[in-house]
Amino acid sequence: MKKALKGIVFVLILCMLVEGISVILLPLDKVKKYGLYKTSAYEIVAEEEDSVDVIFLGDSLVYSSISPMEIWDGYGYTCYDCAQPAQIMPYAYDYLEVAIESQHPKMVFIEANIMFRDPDKLPFYKKIAYRIENYVPIVKYHSNWKKYFTKNKNSWLNVNKGYIYITGVKPSKKDPLNYMDINDENEAYILPENRECFDDMIKLCEENDIKLVLLAVPSQKSWSRSKYNMVKEYAAEKNVDFIDFNIDHDLGIDWSTETKDRGNHLNYWGARKVSDYLGSYMEETGILTDHREDEKYKSWNTAYGIYKNNLKKR
Amino acid sequence: MSFFNPVFAFVFVPLVVVIYNLFPKKLRAFILLAISLLFFAFISKWLILYLVLSIVSIYMSGIGMQKLEEKKKEVLKTVEKDEKKAVKESYKKKRKFVLVLCIIFNVAFLFMFKYFNFFAVNLNLLMNYFKVGHQITIVKHIAPIGISFYTLEALSYVLDIYYGKIEADKNIFRVALYLAFFPQLLEGPIARYQDTANSLYEGNKVTFESFTWGYQRILYGFAKKLIIADRLNIIVKSVFEDWGRYNGFTIFVGIMSYTIMLYMEFSGTIDIVIGIGEMFGVKVPENFRQPFFAKNVSDFWTRWHISLGLWFKDYIFYPVSLSKSMKSLTGKAKKRLGNHYGPLVSGSVALLCVWLLNGLWHGAGWHYIFFGLYHFFMILMGNIFEPSVAKACEKLKIDRKKKGYRIFQSIKTTLLVFFGELFFRAPSMAVAFAMIARMFDAVSFSMSELMTFGMDSRDYVVLMLGMVGMFIMSVVREKGIDVRENISRKNIWIRWAIYYGLILLLLIFGAYGQGYVPVDPIYADF
């Protein structure tokens, strides 16, 4: 009994130490304002308030295919990838809800692949791992210790703005022309709970005067003609723009050099093409302002400098 | 599957401990065996069949040899003195037949999974060269996890019975547990039956003390991997994947980093295995003993992957060097070459067998064979020149026992090993030689390239501090001091402060998450 008690005390003190250190690895003012969990789970919270124009929601297809810094460089719009691995619609909704607490985005893009993911099929251990990761931020943000050893005043900046930089190449073996038809083994279907969640998102965006856009980034494995047909019809029904890079818009992706994993995700070179197209689409809408010369957005230029420098290093 | 996966170390292992402790002592060995087999099946699916076949084959062969031995004793009691020799010979042959059959059976699986394609490719090349129309079909296999490790354990069991070192176990579950104990499946160490079988089968309760004691060792393994190996992996990957881009100094750093990374990853894994063993009251043999303090290449291999070295020593080196033909060769060589070089001849033949097999054990490829031959050559040179070096040192009045000379020996050995391991890591021998050539061609001491790998100066500082820490630990262990034992004697607050410090160091300075690529379990592929 005494030993069990000793073990419990040891673990309790360890938990306190881990949580204490977690706080100092995150921006303290944000932790004070939004709490440890939100600051940890939703990276956008660390951004300066009311500074982000565009939010991208979705799974790994988003953080591998859209680089906000490329859009900043080309068009001067501030974008953020609010993406999570295997994100499900309810998590995307939660993210959007938290994001608009501190930001007033004018556009929100949802990568449509998450509409086909069954929220109930997310394994329970992944849900637990997701919770633990955010309640124990030290695991996710442990590298932030480096910020205490830098002269850079903007050291808390997430320079990639949610994008994950990948240069690896694993060429695809699929036919670049008809991969959409090959993937049509099962008929695509949007679950009622995802439709419901999407309706809630539309409502949230309308209330906050946000333009909602559905998006399908190039992916030879995750996307198919039947998904395309389904989303196209659904977007028309909901009166939402739908941008598809697999059938409607050919970005000229070279599947032998611009994918990191045989056609599922793009690498940096593919992401540049997607980001550039999205920048031009945003420009066409005419609802965003170029902030590159704006003194208020100086930190974005600083972040871009670091981003570019990091690219050179690799 | 890596033992460094937190789910394995901090969820699976405690879960196994809880389940194991829930059962009465009598049943615990069966629970541990069931868990081990499930663990194997989880990784290798239906290939578990091969592990089961190995277990059954060594069990039956052991029993067979034991029965023959018992029968021999009975027969010897009944025969006349002059017939005894013939009876002994006859039973020896029968036992040998059982042994050889068992060895062939087990080695055949290993050959089929690991070496068939290598031999087929090379035979096809030969047949092409001699314009033979036939070609051997290459078959793609996925090998059962840890087949190289458990096959050597299986062979040691039957060989030890044959040599009379142990008696055959009549309990197949104990034999199965010896071969299948889950922490040892991935990367060894290659334990002997007498090391672990009995303690595994005893079903000792995992106590609070054994649990925490084991976890201390596990954390030490994690520190090696997460703080050092995973950072070095960034350097190794960059240099080995694009070595043509870098100057000589950077290539040398890459080569050096690989050996240190290999040590940290492999010995870190063994720390986890030993830690789990300690929880269950099992003394898994140590596999490393400060290898970088070795005075020569031969000494290095008594400190690095010790269990493999001992296996080759006991089951290849001694049987070959003590065989009748080698004994007669030694006798003849002694007459011609004297007492030092004479025995060296037969010893060298045995050594060549050991290192050829050692190279092949690591993988089916010419660079692995070269890796083996390189070490054979280095050890042979060491043996040949030992008298000359001793004489030269005497003339130059160099005390070989002094610290300065020992440090020189360690540095020299470590450098030789770095280049040996280069052949181990490089995708081919041609690349390894090209890297060495580039190292000397593009001589430059510019360190700026080191900053292009994606590791910043702060990462390098952590890496250096981590290595200094490990070096201090090695010095302490070399002096025979047991650090854990010493810590356990301190008062609770000092002890806990050390544990908390280590856990937090790992969590904060570990090279995991975004921007880092963990080292794959290197030895699990062998």
Specify the pLDDT at position A152: 63
- Flag residues of chain B having pLDDT under 50: none
Question: pLDDT tens digits for A70-81?
Answer: 999 999 999 999
* CA of A139 vs chain B CAs: smallest distance (Å): 7
Domain coverage including residue A184:
50-122+149-313
Domain assignment present for B371: no
* CA of A35 vs chain B CAs: smallest distance (Å): 21
Domain assignment present for B198: yes
Domain assignment present for A7: no
The yes-or-no verdict on residue A172 having pLDDT over 60 is yes
The maximal CA–CA distance of chain A, rounded, in angstroms, is: 70
Please give the single-letter amino acid code of residue A145. W
* CA of B500 vs chain A CAs: smallest distance (Å): 7
Domain assignment present for B526: no
Domain assignment present for A171: yes
Domain assignment present for B149: yes
Map residue B480 onto helix, strand or coil: coil
Specify the pLDDT at position A132: 77
Please give the single-letter amino acid code of residue B133. G
Select the residue from B222, B507, B512, B516 to test the A interface by mutation, using most A Cβ atoms within 10 A: B507
Specify the pLDDT at position A159: 86
Residue B149 phi/psi, 5° resolution?
A: -80, -50
The yes-or-no verdict on residue A153 having pLDDT over 60 is no
Q: Give Cβ neighbours of residue B457 (< 8 Å, ≥ 6 apart).
A: B451
Give residue for tokens 């578990």.
B48
CA distance linking residue A281 with residue A43, whole number of Å: 25
Specify the pLDDT at position A183: 63
Give the CA angle between residues B474, B476, B480 to the nearest 5°: 105
CA distance linking residue A208 with residue A204, whole number of Å: 6
The total of structural domains in chain A comes to 1
Residue A313 pLDDT grade (very low, low, confident, very high; cuts 50, 70, 90) = low
Specify the pLDDT at position B159: 96
Supply the mean pLDDT for chain A. Answer: 88
The yes-or-no verdict on residue A126 having pLDDT over 80 is no
Specify the pLDDT at position A94: 93
* CA of B513 vs chain A CAs: smallest distance (Å): 7
Domain with residue A261: its CATH number is 3.40.50.1110
Domain assignment present for A175: yes
Domain coverage including residue B105:
21-204
Structure tokens at B152: 């050597």
Domain assignment present for A27: no
% of chain A beyond a pLDDT of 70: 95
CA distance linking residue A145 with residue B507, whole number of Å: 11
R_g over Cα of chain B:
25
CA distance linking residue A46 with residue A30, whole number of Å: 6
Count the neighbouring beta carbons within 10 Å of the beta carbon of residue A229: 14
Question: Is B500 in contact with A143 (Cβ distance < 8 A)?
Answer: no
Question: Is A10 in contact with B208 (Cβ distance < 8 A)?
Answer: no
Work out how many CB contacts closer than 8 A connect A with B. Answer: 46
The total of structural domains in chain B comes to 1
Minimal Cα distance from A166: which residue of B? B515
Residue A217 pLDDT grade (very low, low, confident, very high; cuts 50, 70, 90) = very high
Domain assignment present for A295: yes
Question: pLDDT tens digits for B486-516?
Answer: 998 999 999 999 999 999 999 999 988 766 7
Question: pLDDT tens digits for A24-70?
Answer: 888 888 888 888 888 888 889 989 899 999 999 999 999 999 999 99
Domain assignment present for A273: yes
Question: Which residue, A222, A230, A224, A306, is CA-closest to A265?
Answer: A222
Residue A9 pLDDT grade (very low, low, confident, very high; cuts 50, 70, 90) = very high
CA distance linking residue A303 with residue A143, whole number of Å: 17
Is A2's Cβ below 8 Å from some Cβ in B? no
Question: pLDDT tens digits for B387-419?
Answer: 888 899 889 888 888 889 999 999 999 999 999
Residue B281 phi/psi, 5° resolution?
A: 75, 25
Question: Is A138 in contact with B458 (Cβ distance < 8 A)?
Answer: no
Residue A111 phi/psi, 5° resolution?
A: -75, 120
Domain assignment present for A4: no
CA distance linking residue B370 with residue B332, whole number of Å: 30
Question: pLDDT tens digits for A219-261?
Answer: 998 898 889 999 999 999 999 999 999 988 889 899 999 998 8
Specify the pLDDT at position A155: 61
Strand order, beta sheet including A54-58: A79-83, A54-58, A107-111, A211-216, A241-244
Count the neighbouring beta carbons within 10 Å of the beta carbon of residue A260: 19
Question: Is B507 in contact with A143 (Cβ distance < 8 A)?
Answer: no
B chain contacts of residue A142, beta-carbon cutoff 8 Å: 507-510, 512-513
Domain assignment present for A110: yes
Question: Is A21 in contact with B508 (Cβ distance < 8 A)?
Answer: yes
R_g over Cα of chain A:
20
DSSP chain A: -HHHHHHHHHHHHHHHHHHHHHHHTS-HHHHHHHHHHHHHH-GGGGSPTT---EEEEESHHHHHH--HHHHHHHH---EEEEE-TT--HHHHHHHHHHHHHH---SEEEEEGGGGGS-GGGS-HHHHHHHHHHHHSHHHHHGGGGGGGG---TTTT--TTTT-----------S-TTTHHHHTTTS-----HHHHHHHHHHHHHHHHTT-EEEEEE---TTT--HHHHHHHHHHHHHHT-EEEETTTT------TTTSBSSTTSSB-HHHHHHHHHHHHHHHHHHT-----TT-GGGHHHHHHHHHHHHHHHH-
